Amino acid sequence: EGLTQRFHRVIALDFLGFGFSDKPRPHGYSIFEQATIVEGLLRHLGLRHQRINLLSHDYGDTVAQELLHRYEHNKTGSILINSLCLSNGGIFPETHYPRFIQKLLKDGGLLSPIILRLMNFFFFSGGLGAVFGPYTQPSQAEYWDMWTAVRNNDGNLVMDSILQYINQRKKHRERWVGALMSTSVPLHLIYGPLDPVNPHPEFLQFYKKVLPMSTVSVLDDHISHYPQLEDPTGFLNAYLNFINSF
């Protein structure tokens, strides 16, 4: 809601395999395809020639990095990026520590479909709660909402395919980290420092070393992997301060 008061238009989408979008299987889910979907959506909405401010989180960070690469290399159909704000996500493979279940699913082979079919709400909410801060845990109702979105269109059965993005990040590191290093687009990071997946201070020190031209907002010590949900006011203020700085 805070974004809609500042911007003429705000667009939020469920990527393929997420939320209430289609969840085809079998399907080779890839960051490249998701980036093409974003481009197609903006073209469909008649925004091909508008400058876009990208705000991303986690999986979306990597999609944004691919969109940035295409923009910087003047690829046909690429979107015009006015600014990019990243938040907690595995931007650098070397400072990214996937949860055990993620590693198991992405590399589990024939085991993965069995695990996915055994997964239930309590298993799901327990795993998700581990990457929220101690004072910012979702309510039971919010967990059920998230689980409902995951289960929609049997989305729980494509998790192992979607998790291949972790391997894709390693394979295409030079392309995606390189896009951030070479860009002239205003760049910002909003970071929840209690994140076990991208831990403090290791992740932040590496980020500042590799991307010294980027500005950074670090939220309160107890904010973890989902800063936009755990501290929406702090997140919004950090983002608007960035947007108003250029």
Residue 105 has pLDDT above 70, yes or no: no
Tokens 């299987």 identify what position?
A: 25
**CATH code of the domain containing 153:** 3.40.50.1820
Confidence of residue 109 (pLDDT cuts 50, 70, 90): confident
Domain around 165: 3-244
pTM of the model: 0.95
For 13-62, what is each residue's pLDDT tens digit? 999 999 999 999 999 999 999 999 999 999 999 999 999 999 999 999 99
Instruction: Spell 187-200 as b/e; 16+ CB within 10 A means b.
Output: bbbbbbbbbebbee
Q: Which pLDDT belongs to residue 103?
A: 73
* pLDDT at site 152: 96
Our count of domains for the chain comes to 1
Helices (H), the chain: 2-6, 31-44, 59-72, 100-107, 111-118, 121-129, 140-151, 159-162, 165-171, 173-182, 202-210, 227-230, 232-243
Question: pLDDT tens across 186-211, in order?
Answer: 999 999 999 999 999 999 999 999 99
Residue 10: what pLDDT?
97
Q: Do residues 190 and 92 lie in contact, with contact meaning Cβ atoms separated by under 8 Å?
A: no
